[in-house]
Chains A and B, each alone.
Chain A
């Protein structure tokens, strides 16, 4: 089946240990930090790429909203992993924007994709962003596009003969709900999936690059607000007084630990 898969995903600073909020709120030096494609969305992208590979004629679009210059940098790496067409939106950085605004922008961008049949759409994304970490954007995009079959924290997708989808969603306590979806359109917000990160393949990058560069140059500004008032933004400050136990025989440590566990 010639799937039309749209993957929504932003970018996230990585490594994260130097994050420090500043009034705005924003992150101090966020644009200086190295960034990656949002790790949750990346899982969705790898699954999309895999599905497209198995189904000739399938096509993957990535709709991404981030500051254009940084998005461009990140995309030069992502584009080497699998074939896709980028639909970039030049939006604000970071996680302090509201999912309503982001979803509006993403849905509007998806509607403008030439040749996309919304009634056959497979909408993919991460189940949360690594920045806002709310897990609300994809459902909003789905709602805006009128998609009533939605799945969250997807671990596995099985495409069955006849085009129906069997979906495993991750529940609390490590259980999984299994559902059968008889047809498209559908929205799948992925948890980790099962696929490793594809290795870079420079020729794929070059092939993607032909459309990537002009698309980025033409990326439209997509304003997004916070939608709320931030009363306080801070790094957690609890520092524990760590007791360091050195030079104690293993047997004694083991006894102490067992005692502590059984208390």
Chain B
């Protein structure tokens, strides 16, 4: 039996986990956690699962103590040998502790789940592994964006509510802070990820460092194309060293080793030299192009579909012209 743990309302990542679970060919239980479960259950009623829920105000927020209590109750009540949940912040925080409590095993960042096995990455996303476990319950957190969402029809669902006494907690969730400007972070919803590398802040052909022009060109480009902005670790790190850097970059922009591995459909790397952006950072980006001065850059070769050997300053200047609408900045 498989249990799918989802929060309400059900997110796209949740629907992806559900879709994945329905393909495993086992009886399905959906466990819902949130303020109220009925509506969410109805929205996926067509999946044919049994519905369990832990609902109420304490479970309406993402918090370890309450989430862990809810998930533990769902796993115990369902008797499932396999529990699947989306690998979102909420479940990644809560479910490892639950695995400990129920004496189970846990795997995270799964990109593929087959009956009896899981595929995921190790060593900062450099090694692919398929593994199988005998321990139960086995909790698997599935990486958002690595499969299709469930697309069945809504249907009236019967929800069995579990009576879980909210655990004592000293944590109160105050709210969510979204960064004010759209370019303050990597936005997964953008069609294009534009990765700025350390080359932007290096000495250019004329011997000058032109950081302010680089800032202007990059911001102009991402604003006009609606692209999400990412950066390499080396460029972000420089901000800690007091060097001339692009002022709007923070660790939240970082792709690669100790950053994120975005899943945009298209990726354009500029002035990146090295493994982070090319090997790790855009592993899950489908279509990849790069602008680099070095035609022999071993890092773009074999990793990008197209490598433009050109000066990124010039290309972005020209791109700004091609994109037009200066008022759109």
Contact = CB atoms under 8 A, between A and B. Distances in A.
Contact of B170 (A27, A182, A192, A248): A182
A239 B184 CA distance: 32
A172 interface: yes
A95 B123 contact: yes
B176 A177 contact: yes
Interface centre among B95, B126, B295, B317 (most CB of A within 10 A): B126
B303 A143 contact: no
A19 B123 contact: yes
Interface stretch (B32-40, B75-83, B102-110, B198-206): B102-110
Interface residues of A, number: 88
A100 B137 CA distance: 13
B89 A178 contact: no
B289 interface: yes
Contact of B188 (A172, A181, A183): A172
B93 A151 contact: yes
Interface in B171-188: 171-179, 184-188
Interface in A126-155: 130-140, 142-144, 148-153, 155
Contact of A231 (B132, B189, B305, B311): B132
A171 B89 contact: yes
Contact of B258 (A95, A192, A251): A192
A243 B117 CA distance: 37
Contact of B106 (A27, A99, A133, A229): A99
Interface string B290-319: 010001000011111111111100111111
A254 B318 contact: yes
B153 interface: no
A136 B302 contact: no
Contacts of B64: 139, 148-152
A152 B93 contact: yes
B177 A260 contact: no
A134 B109 contact: yes
B50 interface: no
B65 A148 contact: yes
B100 A174 contact: no
A131 B100 contact: no
A242 B288 CA distance: 10
A242 B108 contact: no
Interface string B153-172: 00000000000000111111
Interface in B245-287: 251-252, 254, 257-258, 266, 268, 275, 279, 283, 287
Contacts of B257: 16, 39, 130
B62 interface: yes
A95 to B, nearest CB: 5
B23 interface: no
Given A130-B123, A229-B133, 13 more contacts: A134-B109, A140-B96, A143-B96, A152-B89, A173-B186, A174-B179, A177-B89, A182-B171, A228-B107, A242-B305, A250-B314, A250-B318, A254-B316
10 contacts: A39-B257, A99-B96, A134-B109, A173-B186, A227-B135, A228-B105, A242-B301, A251-B321, A254-B321, A261-B266
Interface of A: 12-13, 16-17, 19, 21, 25, 27, 39-40, 95-96, 98-100, 103, 130-140, 142-144, 148-153, 155, 166, 168-183, 186, 191-192, 196-197, 227-236, 239-248, 250-251, 253-255, 257-258, 260-261
Q: What 8 A-B pairs come out closest when comparing CB atoms? A: A174-B185, A254-B318, A250-B314, A136-B96, A139-B96, A196-B240, A152-B93, A143-B100
